[in-house]
Amino acid sequence: MPPRLRVFWSGLIVAFTLLVALPLYTALSTRRDIWWTPSTMLVPLTESRDRVEIYVRGKPLGAVLEAGQLRITDEAGGSVLAMSEVGLRFNNWDRVRAQRLPGLLGYAAVCGALALLFLLVVTGRLAYRGERPSVAA
């Protein structure tokens, strides 16, 4: 392969590798604490029963709150904690990671294939040898 073509194909492969590696880099370098439910969107205790159960001394938190057995004290005094005053935040990183995994594996496979192709082009293993004339018998 002429050096000019080798440089062209090497540059093209490097450009495609960078395009494919960019999503991998952003996925692997993002903060993992951003997947928590925002504080302004707390999930009420009644709506979170399919994902979490909280127990206080062996009793479900909802039952303890309904019975009025849980009190909060502050500077103004004490008050019974109501069910509507309890909110939960969830960490959804496990779900996000599971959804992103197939795409990231695909990007990684393409990066590996492009790296192999780059090595083949740079080392001249894909050199065009042309047609050889047939040997007359």
Contact 90, 51 (CB under 8 A): yes
pTM, full prediction:
0.53
Distance between CA 90 and CA 37 in Å, rounded?
5
Residue 13 contacts residue 118 (beta carbons within 8 Å):
yes
| Predicted pLDDT of residue 136 | 67
Q: Confidence band (pLDDT; 50, 70, 90) for 79?
A: confident
The CA distance from 18 to 110, in Å, is 11
Indicate whether 64 pLDDT > 80.
yes
pLDDT for the residue numbered 109: 92
